[in-house]
Amino acid sequence: MFCGNAFAGEGEAWGEVVFNTSMTGYQEVLTDPSYNGQIVTMTYPLIGNYGINSKDIESEKVRVEGFVVREYEPVPSNWRSEQTLADYLNKEGIIGIEGIDTRALTRHIRLSGAMKGVISTKDLNPDSRVEKARTSRGLVGLDLVKEVTCDKPYGWPQDKEARFKVVALDCGMKFNIAQSLAEKGCQVMVVPAHISAEEIRAMNPDGILISNGPGDPEPITYSVDTIRNLIPDYPIFGICLGHQLLGLAFGGKTYKLKFGHRGANHPVINLLTGKVEITAQNHGFCVDIDSIRDPDIEITHINLNDQTLEGMRHRTLPIFSVQYHPEASPGPHDASYLFDDFIDLMERKGKAHT
């Protein structure tokens, strides 16, 4: 039981309690659809010091169920700030609490694993709150993608002439993934996760992007079926949940990590180059590396903290995926080259057809 003071919002919130080790980027964290269904704890102690702006959002609204910090700074100091973090959370109806020993909470999660929790500003009975947390929904076996995917296809704004048309399967995609593709000269059409392979083919894309998203990948059978249908014919790039869905499409299995990978400082080794990349990550599930038995699938990246699978590619088809976020936001840009690799695959596929 952890007690603190609410600096934003009121009422009650339920979710899986997780921690993020990023020192900056709380606004991007708050709006990342991959956090749907989760209460996020920031390990960096001072949060709110640079406020909130309208440029750094990763979706159209706050996605976390609740926000936990050590110390909230009510007076932001940054030339880009447009409002305080408290004002932002209040408008979105999200509870934010401070005064929590986030180091102790993080250690508890690391030792015991991510678990269900409840934040309440109205129920002060410890036993009642524990029971509410115990009976709240978990993440395993739950389709959270349907709660964050777009309702209908839409085009991402372009600021330059496009060389390639990319269909982005929106499983909870961060805005900066689409923006990164647009900056590389792609016309991006964002489509719902439940769209059929036939509908995607009718759009005549040069490549397919499978986005990040929240929760357990195994219930997302509709997207796995679509991906499996598209594999023979298009260059495909999977990111985070998209990587997991590709793993399932290739006959692999996924499992839940003890406390997940969330932050902007996770070391990953690229087995193709021998280089270590510092990566931004946000996921609680992983592809079982031993379940990838297709000889045509090559393991390309491994997490140096726990040796879990971070990347793979097909040996003959123009398909690859990574568990981490090449668009960062927030985080390092070590992996931004992966967008260039995707562009290269589409270019080579196009030349092969001419």
At 25, the amino acid letter reads G
Give the pairing of strands 46-47 and 71-72: parallel
Residue 233 in tokens: 């014919």
Instruction: Give the residue among 258, 246, 165 at the shortest CA–CA distance from 213.
Output: 246
Helix or strand run (H / E) with residue 91? helix 85-92
C-alpha 170: how far from chain center: 11
The C-alpha atoms of residue 177 and residue 326 are separated, in whole angstroms, by 8
Give the pairing of strands 207-210 and 319-322: unpaired
Give the pairing of strands 297-303 and 309-314: antiparallel
β-bridge mates for residue 12, sequence order: 120
Tell me whether the omega of the peptide bond preceding residue 330 falls within 30 degrees of 0, making it cis.
yes
Instruction: Walk across the sheet containing 5-8 and list its strands.
Output: 5-8, 95-98, 66-68, 38-42, 12-20, 115-120
C-alpha 11: how far from chain center: 27
Q: Which residues are catalytic?
A: 240, 325, 327
Phi, psi for residue 323 in degrees, rounded to 5? -80, -20
Reported as half-sphere exposure (CB side, CA atoms, 13 A), residue 93 has a value of 4
- Neighbour count for residue 331 (Cβ, 10 Å): 24
Per the listing, tokens 């706050």 go with: 62
Q: Could you tell me if 285 and 217 are in contact, meaning their C-beta atoms sit under 8 angstroms apart? A: yes
